[in-house]
Structure 1
Amino acid sequence: MDAKDILLDGFGRIPDEVTGALHGLTAEQLRWAPAEGANTIGWLIWHLTRVQDSHLAELLAADQIYVTGDWGPKFGLKSDPSDTGYGDSAGQISRVEPRSAQVLLDYYQAVHDRTVDYVSGLSDADLDEVVDDRWDPPVTRGVRLVSVIDDDAQHAGQAAYLRGLL
């Protein structure tokens, strides 16, 4: 197994987690929070998808699916490429209002498909390329992709936990 296969395996585990967290939920349940200001299932899945979409678009030097597909209005938002949910306040979390679980699944699936296609075409040399030198040590393409998997897994797990609380 090479590094690309490990990344594909990591990304391949997330769809089942996302689907399981969202399956059968109503729009109201997607916006439910266990306490005032806490994350909602809808926000968590929207956010993990936004982060993946924005990071992948940056690696591709391309537009985000969120913008090209005009996904924002389906979540009660504008299709702003800078709005990924990173650092959102309680008020900002509550503004994410997905129309349905299917909208979240459709957006996630579009981003996932693009990610798998991208990663499938990478070489070991591509994974070693520095893509962000603002950090010490500089971030390689491979490290950035691992970071996305880590973020996705954490937020999908949080969404599954919230589903259990419902």
Structure 2
Amino acid sequence: MNAADLIAKTLEINTNLVHMALDGLTDEELWKQPNADSNPIGWLLWHMTRAEDDLLSRAGGRPQVWAEGRWHQKIKPPAGPEDSGGGNTMDQVRAFRAKKEDLLGYAQAVRKNTLAVLPAIPPSALDQKVENPPAPVVQKVGDFFAILLLDYAHHAGQICYLRGWFKGRGWLPF
């Protein structure tokens, strides 16, 4: 298994878990918060998808699916079309609403792009340095992939926890 396969498999496993957690949730339930300082499921799903889209567009030298597919016109974050969730205030998080079908459609389009881009990234590219705007950070592409996978696992876990918090046990088939 090469790095691209490992990244794709890790994303697939986490995505399958997220889809199980989302199954049967309404649009309204996506935006419930256990308290005023917690991110809702819908925001977490959107943010982790934006992070994947951003990294793969930079690593693959392609435009973001967010802009190219005009997802920013369907999913309208309060901080504007360039927003990816990083640095959002809790007021912005609470003001954000999108339909489950749009969030899942965007996630599916991003994953399709990810699976097309990953095999085309040569192993040597993982050592190339790229910027991470708006933060003044320059890191290796491989480091960003590691951060992406960790971030994705964290947010998938948060989504699963919130699903259990709101609906109780028994939603996982294992």
Q: Tell me: CA distance 1:121–1:84, structure 2 relative to 1, closer, same or farther (3 Å).
A: same
Q: Residue 85 of structure 1 aligns with which residue? A: 85
Gaps of 5+ in 2: 167-174
| Superimposed CA distance per residue, residues 104-132 of structure 1 (whole angstroms, 9 cap, x where no aligned partner) | 21111111111121111222212222224
Q: TM-score, structure 1 length as denominator? A: 0.86
The correspondence of residues 120-139 of structure 1 with structure 2, limited to 5 A, is 120-132=119-131, 135=137, 139=139
Letter in 2 for 1:116: L
Q: Tell me: CA distance 1:49–1:20, structure 2 relative to 1, closer, same or farther (3 Å).
A: same
- Give secondary structure in 2 for the equivalent of 1:29: helix
How far, CA to CA, are the matches of 2:122 and 2:41 in structure 1?
35
Q: Residue 94 of structure 1 aligns with which residue? A: 94
- In the TM superposition, what is the alpha-carbon distance from 1:80 to its structure 2 partner? 4.4
Give identity over the alignment, percent.
Answer: 33
C-alpha root-mean-square deviation of aligned residues, in Å? Answer: 2.2
- In the TM superposition, what is the alpha-carbon distance from 1:58 to its structure 2 partner? 2.1
How far, CA to CA, are the matches of 1:152 and 1:82 in structure 2?
20
The correspondence of residues 1-80 of structure 1 with structure 2, limited to 5 A, is 1-77=1-77, 80=80
Letter in 1 for 2:140: T
Contact 1:45/1:155 (CA < 8 Å) preserved in 2? yes
Letter in 1 for 2:156: A
- In the TM superposition, what is the alpha-carbon distance from 1:81 to its structure 2 partner? 4.8
Q: Residue 165 of structure 1 aligns with which residue? A: 165
Figure out how many residues of one structure are paired with residues of the other and give that number: 163
How far, CA to CA, are the matches of 2:68 and 2:126 in structure 1?
26
How far, CA to CA, are the matches of 1:78 and 1:95 in structure 2?
7
Q: Tell me: CA distance 1:160–1:92, structure 2 relative to 1, closer, same or farther (3 Å).
A: same
How far, CA to CA, are the matches of 1:114 and 1:79 in structure 2?
25
The correspondence of residues 101-112 of structure 1 with structure 2, limited to 5 A, is 101-112=100-111
Q: TM-score, structure 2 length as denominator? A: 0.83
